[in-house]
Amino acid sequence: MTDVKIRLFVDHPLGAGQSLVLDKAQAHYLFGVMRQQIGAHLAVFNGKDGEWLAEVTEAGKRGGSLRCVDLRGPQVNPPDLWLLFAPIKKARTDFIVEKAAEMGAARIVPVQTDFTNAERIRQDRLQAHALEAAEQCGGTFVPEVSDLTKLSALLASWPEGRKLMFCDEGIAGQADAQALLKAVGAGPWAVLIGPEGGFSAAERARLHAAAFAQPVSLGPRILRADTAAVAALTVWQQALGDWT
């Protein structure tokens, strides 16, 4: 298999002999930043058709084109897992999105809780971070990053059959989270991480009363929101995901 150092997401069907037209940003990255030339090889994926070896057929400052050569690997989709989190400071929110994409979240949903400081997000910027993370980690799937949604509205219209791993800082150090998850069983899930100020009393009461929610502890210490997101995804993946 041809060794490649560059992976690129393309919004285009992939198949043997398929020609791919690059946009200005992609051309700048490949030919201006990475100094690739005609005949160079790279890996491309679109989130649906696996990973393909592609060859540069045209190279210019404002555009270019590739040609699909061989299938390098099949499409591998993550488990049906959502990550729900309250946005925090910009750099740490970016970190959460990047790590969620790397760790196998299928959908990333920023939520506004009673104690969330952010009232808006740049959904397009966060989606770009998820795409870049998929390019760098070798994945063939790019999770959707939703726009900011009120937690109360999301819970009110919670999809039937989807279970919720509610990471509750109020029960820190209690019970084995992986054992609890395994007891509930596999299927569509979501992980919920709270804001820096924690969940309000009303939110905690509502979540504990919800039949679809499973409160869990992430250990004996209260974690920062970005740390909690990584810890929670690790716990879920090891219990019910594709790491086992």
What CATH code is carried by the domain that includes residue 11? 2.40.240.20
Q: Is 66 contained in some domain?
A: yes
Output the pLDDT for position 117. Answer: 79
Residues 6+ apart with CB under 8 A from 25: none
Residues 6+ apart with CB under 8 A from 179: none
85 and 64 within one domain: no
Q: Is 1 contained in some domain?
A: no
103 and 182 within one domain: yes
Asked if 59 and 36 count as a contact pair (C-beta separation under 8 A), the reply is yes
Separation CA 154–CA 143 (nearest Å) = 19
Domain-terminating residue out of 41, 73, 105: 73
Output the pLDDT for position 174. Answer: 74
**CB atoms near residue 185 (< 10 Å):** 9
Q: Is 2 contained in some domain?
A: no
How many domains does the chain divide into?
A: 2
91 and 60 within one domain: no
| Better-scored residue on pLDDT, 90 or 53 | 53
Output the pLDDT for position 75. Answer: 97
Asked if 166 and 194 count as a contact pair (C-beta separation under 8 A), the reply is no
DSSP 78-115: PPSEEEEE---SHHHHHHHHHHHHHHT-SEEEEEE-TT
Low-confidence winner among 86-95, 138-147, 173-182, 235-244 (lowest mean pLDDT): 173-182
Output the pLDDT for position 197. Answer: 84
48 and 107 within one domain: no
pLDDT band, very low/low/confident/very high, at 52 (cuts 50, 70, 90): very high
96 and 183 within one domain: yes
Nearest to 8 by CA among 142, 99, 103, 105: 142
- Asked whether the predicted pLDDT for residue 205 surpasses 90, the reply is yes
What range does the domain containing 53 cover?
Answer: 7-73
How large a percentage of the chain has pLDDT more than 70?
99
91 and 212 within one domain: yes
122 and 235 within one domain: yes
Q: What angle do CA 14, 138, 59 make, to 5 degrees?
A: 55
Output the pLDDT for position 1. Answer: 60
Q: Is 206 contained in some domain?
A: yes
123 and 190 within one domain: yes
> What's the whole-number mean pLDDT along residues 212-218?
94
Domain-terminating residue out of 35, 52, 73: 73
